[in-house]
Structure 1
Amino acid sequence: MIEVMRKTTYARLFRIVILTVLIIALIATTAGCGGQPAVASVARGGVIDLTGTSLDAAEPLELTGTWEFYWQKLVDPAAFQAGAAPAPDALIRMPRYWNEVRGKEGVFPSSGYATYHCVLQLRPGMGNLAFSLADVFSAYDLYLNGRLVLSNGRVGKEAAAEYARIIPRTVYFRPDTETLHLTLHVSNHLSRDAGIGVFRLGGEERVRRMDELSVAGDLFLFGAILIVGLYHLLLFLLRRDNSNFLFFGLFCLATALRTALMGRRLAQFLFPSLTAGIFSALEYLTIPLMVISLSAFFLVTFRIKWFRPAHYIVIGLSGVYLFFLVATPPNVSAVALSIYQTCILAFGILLVVMHVGAIRNGTRGAVGSLISFLPFFATAVNDILHYNQVINTFYMIPWGVFLLILFQAGNLAVQFSRNYRAVQVLSERLTALDKLKDAVLANTSHEIRTPLVGIIGIAESVLEGATGRVNEELARKMHIIIAGSRRLSNLLNDILDFTRLKYKELELARRPVDFKKLCDTAFLFSRPLTAGKDIVLENRIPPGFPEVAGDPARLQQILHNLIDNAIKFTEQGGVTVTAYKMGSTGWFSVADTGRGDSGGKTGPDI
C-alpha cells in the first residue's frame, strides 16, 4: 500500500514538472509577443553592421556586443565624427552595467560618469527609425551624429548636479546618412546599476507597436492583480477567521505595486514626479513585502509546524535587508540585495520541499498550489539572473505572479465551493432532522392527548355522580384534576399549533364570537389555579359587548395563556379582563396586581 502511494506521488510530481515546463514556455512565448526583439545585432569593436538588415520589416533589434567606453569623461559627440576622440578606456559588452566591468585599474565603481560610443552602418534608403531604451537607472543624454535627440533626467559630474529618472524613453528619427554615431553621456551617483541596460533599434511602426503592447500588458497585469488583491482583502473583512485571505491579498497588492514600477511607462503615468532614488527604493521595498506575505500565506494555508521557524527567519532577513536599503549608501545596499536575492532562492527551494511534503501527506490543494508556485519560482530565478546580467533574457516575474495568483485564486475558489457544499449538505440534514423532530412532537402530542381525554372524561363522570355521591373534598380534587388535564391538553395543542405555524399549515375558522362568554369559559378552566391564593378573577367585559369575528378556539387559547400567566405571578389581589371597541376592531386586556415578569413591579400589567 505504501509503495503504491509513493508511485502515485512520484507520478503526480512528474506531471507537475512537465506542466511547469509547458507553462514557462507559454510565459516566454506570450511575453515575447509583447515586442521582444527577434534578433540581437552584435557590435564588434564599437561598430554594428546593419547594411544587410531591413529594419522596417524586422522586429526591433537589441544592440548588443562591444561598445567603446570612456570612464569619467563626457566626450564631445562631434569629436567622434571628426575622428578626434581619445582612445577608449575599455570596450564594454552590452547590455551590461559598467560597475560590473573591469578596467585597467580594476572594476569601475558605480558612482561616476562616462561616455558610450558606437557606430551604426545602415543600408541605403532606410525609412523612419526609433531607438528605445529600457532598464536604465542612470541619467543620460543620447546624441546622433553630434545632435542631442533624447534626455532622461540631467547628467551631472557630481551628485548634486545630477537628476535621474527610471523611465523607458523612445526617440523617433529619420537617418540622413548611412553612418550613425551613437553617443551616450551617462552619470550615476545613486543607483547600484550604473550605465545602460537594454538598447533597441527598429522601424518606427514596429517600435511604436512594441511600446503599445508593453503598456497594454503592464496595464492588464496591474489591473488584474490589483482587483484580485482587493477582492481577497474584502473576503477577509467578511471572514476574519480566514487569515489566508489577508496574506494573499497583501501579496497581490505588493505585486501590483511592483508590476506598476517594473512597467516603466505605466509607472510614468501613475507616478510622474518620482525621482530615480525614490523609484528604486519603492521597487526594492516590494520584494520583502512579497516574500513575507507569500510565506505567511503558505504557512496559514498548509499549517506545517517545521515551516514556522523558517517563516520567522524570512521575516528577520527581510528586516535586515530593509535596514541596509534605507540606512546605507547604494554600494552597500547593492551587496545586501545580492545576499537577500540568494536567500530568496534558498527560500523558494524550501517552499518547493514544503509543497512536496504536503502532497505526500495528502494535503488537499497542495498539488494545485505547487503547480502554480513552480512557474512563479522559475520566473523569479530568471529575473534575479537577468537583473544581475548572468543571462540576457527579459523580466518574466509579472507573468509568473499572474499565474500564481490565478491558480491560488482557483484553489481558494475550489475550497469555497467545497465549504459551501458542505454547509449546504449540513443545512439539508438539519432541515430533515428538524422535520423529523416536528413529526415526533406531533405524534407524541397525539399519543398523550388520548389518555388525557380519558382522564378528563372519568373525572367529569365522577363529579356527575356516576360512582355515587361526591363529597366536597373529592369534588375539589376532581376539579383540580380536570383543570390540570385541560391545561396539559392546551400545552399539547400549543405544540401542535407551533408546528402548523412553522409550516404554514394553521387555518383559522373565523365566525362571530361572544367575547364575554369566552372570558367566562377561560376563567372556568383557570379557576383551579387560584387554589391557595387570595385572588379574585373578574370579568369586566360589559354586557351587550358586540360579537367579534375570529376563531373562538384561538382566541380562547390566547386568553387562557394570558390569564394563567397573570395567576402565576399574582399571590394576592385580582386578575381582571376588560374589552373595548376602537373603530371596527375589538380589543381586550388582562390586568393583574402581581409583580409581573420584571421582578418587584406592582400595578396592572397588560
Structure 2
Amino acid sequence: MAGKRRPLERLPPSARTSSELYINGRRMASSGRPASTEQEYRAENLPYTATFMADEQRTIELVIQVANYSDPRSGGLVRSLRFGTDEAIYRERQLSLATQYLIAAALIMQAAYLIIFFMIERKQFWLYFALVILSYTTIMLNSSDDKLLHQWLQISYAWGYKILCLSLTVLMYSLLRITIDQMAAAWRVPVRRVYSVLAVIGIAASIALPPQSSDALQYAIFLCAAPVILILTVSALRKSVRGITNSLLQFLAFLAFANQIFWWLLLIYTGTKTMSYPFDLILAMILLSSIWIKRYYVMYTEQRELAAKLEEINRRKDEFLANTSHELRNPLHGMISMSQVVLKREREIISDTSIHELDTILKVGRRMSLMLHDLLDTERLKDNSLRLQLTGVALQPVVNGVIDMVRFIADGKPIILKNQVSEEFPNILADENRLIQILFNLLHNAVKFTHQGEIVVGAHTEKNRAVITVSDTGVGIDKEILLRIFEPYEQAAINGYKGGFGLGLSICKQLVEIHGGSIEVHSVPNQGSRFIFTMALEHGVEAKGAGAQTAFASLVSVQKANQEYGKPIDYVPTINAETVQAQPTARNMTGRPRILAVDDDSLNLKVLVSLLSVDAYEVTTVTSGDDALAMLLKQSWDLVITDIMMPRMTGYELTRRIRERYTMSDLPVLVLTARTRPEDIEQGFLAGANDYVTKPVNARELRVRVQALTELTGSSRERIRMEVAWLQAQIEPHFFFNTLNSIAALHAVDPGQMLLLIEHLANYLREKFKFQSVGDLVSLRDELKLVRSYLFIEQTRFDWLRVEWEIEEEGLELRIPPYSIQPLVENAIRHGLIRRRENATVRIKIAKQEDGVVISVIDNGIGMEKEKADVLLKSGAGQGIALRNIDLRLNRLYGAGLNIVSEPGVGTTVSFKI
C-alpha cells in the first residue's frame, strides 16, 4: 500500500455510544466524547469518515476508543469496519443517502395525500394511515446508519431514543386503528379502549424514562401489539383466501411493510449491515395505491349514479310542479269560461248586482290563474325565463311594509328594526313584488341570526344606481360559509341555529341579477353582517305613492289576463272613499252599522262590499292606512276591517294607531291575513286587533265575525249612553237640599237674590233633564248656560268661591258633546277648592287657536301628585265615571281626550281641544 493514497475508513454507527478514531497515532474523527468516567462522557452516535495514507512500512495502525454509559446494550463495535478507496466509499454513501431521501420524500408525500383525504372526507382511516407512514419515516431517519434526523434537528442521543419509542407507540396504535374493523364487532370497542389507554401510557413512558430503559420499553410495545397484529394478519389472510380483492391487497401490502420492519429490527439488534433499499416499501405503496384507486373509482361510480338519480328526481319534481299547475288551471279555466257564458247570456235579465258579482268572479278566476304561474317561479329562475313587471317603485314605503312583515320573527328579541331610507330617495326601476321578496329574505335572514342589537336598511345612489344595504349586529358569518352562502339549498349552521330550505339568499341573488344588479356580503364573526345589492334608478319618472304602484301592478295583471284569454277586460281603478261609500248622513236615516274597509287592492274591497251590503251594513272603503285615519277623524264607525299586507302603512301599524285613540270595545278591528302561522296571528293581536279572518275569506265566517264585533261596538256605545244619562240624572240630595235651604234663607233677607237663585236652579234642572243622544252635539253657548247656573248656585252657598271667565265670543257657536264642561267645574270645586276656601278661584277659559278651540277649567285648589293625575282617566281608577266618560267621548269624536296638569298646593288644570 506504500505510495498509494488509502481512503477512507468508515466507522459504523453501532459503535455504542461514543467513539474516537486514531490512525497511526493521529486523532482523525470522533462522535461524542468517550471518557473513563461518566461525568466527562458525552453520548453521540453519528457516522463519520476518515481518509489516510499508509506509512513507509506499509502498515496502518488503527485505534478506536469507545465508551458507553447510556445504552443498555453492549458497548463497542457491533459490525465490522469497512475499508475501500475514497471513490468507492463515496459512491456507496451517496447511493445510501439518495435512497433514504427518496423513500422519505415519497412517504411524506403519501402522508400529505392521506391527510388531504382526511380533511375532505373526515374519515379517521386516512388520518391513522398517515400517522403510520409518518411514524415509520421518523423511525427510518432516526435509526439508519446515516442518522439523518439527528443531523437535521441536532437532537441528543437521549432524545433520539425517546423519539424512537414515541414513533413505535404511534405506529402500533395507528396500525390497530386502521385494521380494527376486521375484528369481530363485539371486540372492537373494548380493544380500542384498552389500546388507547396503553398508547397514552406508552407515550408518557417514552418521554419520561431515560435511554437505559428504552430497550425494555420497546419490547413492551412489541409485546402489547403482537396479539392484535397476529389476529389482524389471520383475519386479512382468511378474507384474501375467500377472494376479497381489497383484503388480499392489504395483506400483501402488510407483508411488504412487515418485511421492511423485519430488516430494520435485524439491523438494530444483530448488527448485520445491509444497504438500504426501497423495493419492499415501493411494493407496499403500489399495493396501497391500488386499493385507494379502486376505492376512488367505486366512489366516483356511486357518485355518478347518485347524481343521475338526483337529476331524475329533480326533473320529476319539475314535471310534477308543471303538471300540478296545468291540472289546476284546467278546472279554473272551465269556471272562468262558464261564468263568461252565463254573464253574456243572462246580462239582460239579471240585476246589476248579479252582473257585478259575476264580473268579480271572472276577475278573481283570472287572478288565480296568474297566481298559478307563480308556482313555476323557481323553475323560471333556473331557466332565466322569469318575466319582470318593471316600474318605478318608491323604496321607502316598501321597506316599511317589509319591516312590519318580519317583526313577528323577532319573537321578543331585543332588536330594533330601522328604516333609514329617505322619503325623497329617487324611484328605482324594479318589479315591486320581487323587490319585496328580496328585502323580506334579507331581513328574515338578519332577524334569524341577530339575538340583540339593531337591523338597519339604508340606501344611497352611486353612478346612477341605487345601492341598498341591509346590515345587522348579529353573530356574523364565517369565511368558509361566506364562499357558498348564495348557493341554493345552502343551510348555514351558525351558533347552533339551522333551519329552512336554504333557498332565500340564492333566490335573492338571482332576482337581483335578473334586475341587472349585483349583490355581495361582508361579515365579521360575532360583529354582524352587511348585505349590499344594487338596482337601476328610474329616470324621468316622478315618485309614485303606494296607491299608484298598486294600480300599475293591477293594470299589468289585467293586461296579462287579456293576453292569456284573448278577452277585453275593463281596468278597475283604485277605489277611493267616494267610490262606493254612502253619504255621511245615510247612517242617521238608516241606522245601519258603519264599517270602514281598508285594502290596497280594489278587487278585495269590491268583494267585501258585495258580501256585507246584503246584511244591511254601510261599507265605506279606502285604499291606504293614511286615508283610513283621516276617515276616522271625520265620522263615527262601528268596525274597521283592514288587510295586513299594504304598502306605506301595514295593517299592523294601522291597528296600533287606532288603539292609540280607541279602546277595543269602542272601535273593534278585524284583520284579514293570508298568513296563518301562529306568530303572524299573535302579531295582529299584539297590535290591538279584536279578531282575524284568513284569506281566502269564507263569506259565512266573515258575516258572523262582523256581526259579533258590530254588536260589541253597539254595547260599548250603549254603556256610554247610559253613563251620560246617569250624568244627566245625577243630582246629589245634599246639593239639592242645600240649595232649597238657601232659597228659604234668602226669602226674608234678599227676595231678589232668591228669585235669581230659583231661576238658575230651574235652568240647571231643565238642562240636566234634557235627554240627548250620546251622539248629539250641543252649542258651547248652551253648555255654558248650564255651567253658569251651577256656579251661581254654588256661589250662593259658598261665599268664599270666586269665578273668573276668559271667553272669546267667536267660539260660542262651536258644537261640543253635552255635559263636557259642567262635570269638570263640579269636580274642581268638590275635590280641589272646598278644602282650601281661602282665595279659592275657579276659572273657565275658552281660547281660540289656529287649529281649534281649547277649553280649560283651572282651579287653585289643593292639587294632586302627577302619579294620581295619570290614573284618573284609566278604567277602574276608583274616581267615578264622569271624567272617564268625558274623555272617552272626546276621544271618539276628536281623537284626543282630556289633558290634566296638577301640582300639589298650586292647583289643577283640566283642558280639552275641539
Q: Which TM-score bucket, shorter chain as reference?
A: 0.5 to 0.7
Higher Cα Rg: structure 1 or 2?
2
Contact 2:34 2:65 in 1 (8 A): yes
Q: Which whole-Å deviations, capped at 9, do the CAs of 1:191-240 have from their partners, x for residues lacking one?
A: 12322234322210121122222222222222332233233334333433
The sequence identity of aligned pairs, in percent, is 20
Following superposition of structure 1 onto structure 2, how do residues 415-426 of structure 1 map, counting pairs within 5 Å?
A: 415-426=295-306
Q: Is the 8 A contact 2:107 2:133 kept in 1?
A: yes
Letter in 1 for 2:316: L
Q: Is 1:232–2:267 an aligned residue pair?
A: no
Q: How does 1:61-460 map to 2 (within 5 A)?
A: 126-136=4-14, 137-176=16-55, 177-193=57-73, 194-198=75-79, 199-240=81-122, 242-263=123-144, 264-272=146-154, 274-299=155-180, 305-306=186-187, 309-312=190-193, 314-315=195-196, 318=199, 325=206, 330=211, 332-359=213-240, 365-389=246-270, 392-394=272-274, 400=280, 403-405=283-285, 407-460=287-340
Deviation for aligned residue 1:185: 1.0
The C-alpha deviation readout for 1:522-560, integer Å capped at 9, x for no partner, is 8455546656697845399xxxxxxxxxxxxxxxxxxxx
Question: How many pairs does the alignment contain?
Answer: 438
Letter in 2 for 1:434: N
DSSP 3-state at the match of 1:172: strand
Q: What do the CA deviations read for 1:248-303 (whole angstroms, capped 9, x no partner)? A: 2222332332233134352243112x221121221222111111112112225888
Q: TM-score, normalised by structure 1?
A: 0.62
User: How large is the Cα RMSD of the aligned pairs?
Assistant: 4.0
Does the aligned pair in 1 maintain the 2:161–2:211 contact within 8 Å?
no
* CA positional deviation for 1:315: 4.6
What's the CA shift for 1:142?
A: 1.2
Specify the SS of the correspondent of 1:365. helix
Q: Give the whole-Å Cα distance in 1 for the aligned partners of 2:77 and 2:230.
A: 32
Deviation at 1:477? 5.8
Q: 1:323 to 1:130 in 2, by over 3 A?
A: same
1:124 Cα deviation after fit? 5.4
| TM-score, length of structure 2 as denominator length | 0.42
Aligned partners of 1:154 and 1:488: how far apart in 2? 97
Please name the residue that 1:572 is paired with: 641
Does the aligned pair in 1 maintain the 2:132–2:174 contact within 8 Å?
yes
Taking CA–CA contacts closer than 8 Å with sequence separation of 6 or more, which of the two structures ends up with the larger relative contact order? Answer: 1
Structure 1 residues 91-146: Cα deviation after superposition (integer angstroms, max 9, x where no partner): xxxxxxxxxxxxxxxxxxxxxxxxxxxxxxxx555434112223334101112222
Amino acid at match of 1:236: F
The amino acid of 1:450's aligned partner reads: N
Whether the aligned pair in 1 keeps the contact of 2:135 and 2:171 (CA below 8 Å) is yes
Distance 1:482 1:234, change over 3 A: same
Counterpart residue type for residue 223 of structure 1: A
Cα 1:411/1:526, change in 2 over 3 Å: farther
Task: Tell me which residue corresponds to 1:10.
Answer: none
Cα pair distance change 1:154/1:466, threshold 3 Å: same
- Is the 2:17–2:45 Cα contact (8 Å) retained in structure 1? yes
SS at match of 1:160: coil
- In structure 1, the gaps of 5 or more residues are 1-122, 541-569, 578-588
In structure 1, distance between residues paired with 2:182 and 2:356:
72
Q: Does structure 1 conserve the Cα–Cα contact (< 8 Å) formed by 2:165 and 2:214?
A: no
In the TM superposition, what whole-angstrom CA distance separates every residue of 1:438-458 from its partner, at most 9, and x where no partner exists? Answer: 223323423432332221121
Give me the whole-angstrom Cα distance separating, in 2, the residues matched to 1:166 and 1:530: 100
2:349 is aligned to 469
Classify the secondary structure of the residue corresponding to 2:34: coil
- How has the CA–CA distance of structure 1 residues 476 and 131 changed in structure 2, closer, same or farther, with 3 Å as cutoff? farther
How does 1:507-586 map onto structure 2 within 5 Å?
516=551, 519=554, 521=571, 523=601, 525-527=603-605, 530=608, 536=621, 538=623, 572-573=641-642
3-state SS in 2 of match to 1:171: strand
User: Residues 96 and 276 of structure 2 are in contact (CA less than 8 Å); yes or no, is this contact kept in structure 1?
Assistant: no
Name stretches of at least 5 consecutive residues in structure 2 with no aligned partner.
393-430, 432-547, 556-570, 573-600, 613-618, 626-638, 654-672, 689-914
